[in-house]
Amino acid sequence: MTASKRVLLAKPRGYCAGVDRAVQTVEEALKLYGAPIYVRKEIVHNKHVVSTLQGKGAIFVEENEEVPEGAIVVFSAHGVAPEVHDQAKARALRAIDATCPLVTKVHQEARRFAADDYDILLIGHEGHEEVIGTTGEAPAHIQLVDGPDGADKVTVRDPEKVVWLSQTTLSVDETLETVARLKQRLPLLMSPPSDDICYATSNRQDAVKAMAPDCDIVLVVGSQNSSNSQRLREVAVDAGARAGYLIDYASEIQEEWLTDASTVGVTSGASVPDELVMEVLDFLAQRGYNDVAEITTAQEKLVFSLPQELKRDMKAAAAARAAEVAQTLS
């Protein structure tokens, strides 16, 4: 007899408040100012989101130098170092900062501890844009600790004046392990005033942990360069799934992954639109996985308002339109 086929669908999954705000920022800027709108780096780490915005007139660049002088540039959700703002000013760019407010919070912590002359141990992945941006706030005070093994290489000036901060999208469990390793060497290491790993990252990992022990395989919809999506795949395997696969699109699912898989878990990273998850469910339904149960571990209601500089221009444009209408009617 063939085992029954079912899907467990994690909730929360997909878009977080910071990604939603960043994507809306580019969309609203395109509507307000018209194309092209320049975006420094991928606005969020998702192939589909980036190509959709390109289709609407966004131009993605690596650095400010590629943006024509005086043009509008949007900074991505991952945040930028202060020098990037300075470069934009020097080129007379009109910058709209779509940095997630929860990344900005980590920047503020870094500035504050650096001003108090602390050594700051930033737990994160080398080369990730968010880490580069946060480090840029206080390069002389910050050392990167890339995972538990990195803890052994740290040197500090005063073991009584040292604090750890972290990238927002790390594995919660691995970060606790890194902190424990650091504390073996630095017992007086201070913790951040509040969690740096954001609510969206930890909620998505909790949902996968709840679901994975009952899954043969877990499909994570997300891009290879998305830190939080990569972590979901690792968490799924650590929590008991036989295998975890990271895919951008349903078309990337390989039939052999489904061999002997009666329960397939599905989730998505914080930068993934839910339509891509629905396409995965359709793909699975066509192969007999019609029974879908949502595993809910948290409800999310957080919403961030758009960047001030954009809201100000949107308000001015609305007022100008209202004045025009009033004049036409008078």
- In order of 189, 190, 307, the CA distances from 186 in angstroms are 5, 9, 39
How many other CB atoms sit within 10 Å of the CB of residue 281? 18
Q: Is 130 a catalytic residue?
A: yes
How many other CB atoms sit within 10 Å of the CB of residue 263? 20
Instruction: Name the active-site residue from 65, 130, 137, 252.
Output: 130
Tell me whether residue 103 or residue 276 sits nearer to ligand SF4 (CB atom).
103
Show contacts with ligand SF4 in window 242-281 (CB under 6 A).
Answer: 270
State the nearest-atom distance from the C-beta of 237 to ligand SF4, in Å: 21
How many other CB atoms sit within 10 Å of the CB of residue 305? 10
CA distance 36 to 57: 5
- For ligand SF4, the binding residue among 37, 67, 145, 200 (CB under 6 A) is 200
Q: Is 228 annotated as ligand-binding?
A: yes
- In order of 62, 97, 128, 220, 325, the CA distances from 23 in angstroms are 18, 12, 20, 21, 30
State the nearest-atom distance from the C-beta of 208 to ligand SF4, in Å: 15
Tell me the residue nearest to ligand SF4 as measured from the CB: 18
Tell me whether residue 87 or residue 167 sits nearer to ligand SF4 (CB atom).
167
Q: Is 226 annotated as ligand-binding?
A: yes
Show contacts with ligand SF4 in window 83-142 (CB under 6 A).
Answer: 100, 102-103
- For ligand SF4, the binding residue among 7, 8, 13, 18 (CB under 6 A) is 18
CA distance 99 to 32: 20
Q: Residue holding tokens 């946060």?
A: 134
- In order of 42, 54, 285, 298, the CA distances from 61 in angstroms are 8, 11, 39, 36
Q: Which stretch binds ligand SF4 (CB under 6 A): 61-69, 80-88, 176-184, 197-205?
A: 197-205
> Edge-to-edge strands of the sheet including 162-166?
142-145, 119-123, 162-166
Tell me whether residue 145 or residue 270 sits nearer to ligand SF4 (CB atom).
270
Tell me whether residue 102 or residue 266 sits nearer to ligand SF4 (CB atom).
102
Up-side HSE of residue 324: CA atoms within 13 Å toward CB?
A: 6
228 binds ligand SF4 (CB under 6 A): yes
Tell me whether residue 253 or residue 273 sits nearer to ligand SF4 (CB atom).
273
CA distance 129 to 314: 29
- Binding site for [4Fe-4S] cluster, residues? 16, 100, 198
Contact residues: ligand SF4, CB under 6 A:
16-19, 77, 100, 102-103, 168-169, 198, 200-201, 228, 270
- Binding site, residues? 16, 45, 78, 100, 128, 168, 198, 226-228, 271
Active site residue ranges: 130
